[in-house]
Structure 1
Amino acid sequence: MQALNFPKYSFRFKNSENKISIFDTIRKKFVVLQPEEWVRQHCVQFLVKEKKYPKSLVNVEKELKVNDLKKRYDIVVYNPNGSIRLIVECKAPNVSISQSTFDQIAQYNLVLNASYLMVTNGINHYYCVMDFKEKCFLFLKDLPDYKL
């Protein structure tokens, strides 16, 4: 797999039926290693190890409904009170981050109401904080570390 713009992390892999899988520490199972999954697993490690988000507040690949359509978010980080702190949209490294990527995460946030948004393809990372009063997001240089 391609080198990404994240710190180096160690992962568990297994090969089964000629498919390589990577162990997801959040879902506690092996998942098929695809380019987007490679980015997602690096991002989870980044959030837990660098930004100090508790693993117990991180959720990966769950379904949500947006305008009666079933969608799946990549990563959500909760606050201890159950509200959502952060949504992360992961793309494969060969996928450019475009306006449609931001539109996608903004649509998810209409339902989830997260305070922060992150979009990454493993190479480029974009961080935003929501301004609910003005109904827009403001770009940040970095994602804040976890604090209670």
Structure 2
Amino acid sequence: MHELNFPRYSFRFKNRENKIAVFDELRKKFVLLTPEEWVRQHVVQFLLKEKSFPKSLLNVEKQLKVHDLIKRYDVLAYNPDGSIHLVVECKAASIPITQETFDQIARYNLALQATYLMVTNGLQHYFCQLDYKAEQYHFLPDIPEWT
């Protein structure tokens, strides 16, 4: 797999039917190691280890309804009150981050109403804070640590 722009993390792998799987500690199971999954697993470790997010408030790959369409978000962090703190859209390292990527996470966020958004392909990371009153977002140099 690609070397990514994250600190080095330790992962558990296993070979299943000549395919490599990685252990997802949030889902508590091995999942097929695709290029996008490699980025997703790094994001989860980044949020846990670098940003001190509680594991109990993180969720990955769940369905979401957006305008009668069923979509799947990559990573989501809740606030203790159940509101959404952060939504992360992951792309494989070979996929460039484009306006279409930002449009995708913006559509998801219509339903989720997160405080922060993160878009990454593992090499480039973009962070935004949303200001719903002013109806705008602000790019940030990094996502704030969990408090």
Q: Distance in 1 between matches of 2:47 and 2:4?
A: 15
Q: How many residues align?
A: 147
Aligned to 2:132: 132
Paired letter, 2:41: Q
Aligned to 2:55: 55
Aligned to 1:5: 5
Q: Distance in 2 between matches of 1:141 and 1:40?
A: 20
Which consecutive unaligned segments of at least 5 residues does structure 2 have? Answer: none
Q: Percent identity?
A: 66
Paired letter, 2:127: Y
Q: Distance in 2 between matches of 1:47 and 1:20?
A: 24
Q: CA RMSD in A?
A: 0.4
Aligned to 1:120: 120
CA positional deviation for 1:49: 0.3
Which 4+ stretches in 1 moved above 4 angstroms? none
Paired letter, 2:104: Q
Give the TM-score taking structure 1 as reference length. Answer: 0.98
CA positional deviation for 1:105: 0.4
Which consecutive unaligned segments of at least 5 residues does structure 1 have? Answer: none
Q: Distance in 1 between matches of 2:7 and 2:28?
A: 22
Q: Distance in 2 between matches of 1:54 and 1:32?
A: 24
Q: Distance in 2 between matches of 1:87 and 1:15?
A: 30
CA positional deviation for 1:137: 1.3
Q: Distance in 2 between matches of 1:114 and 1:43?
A: 17
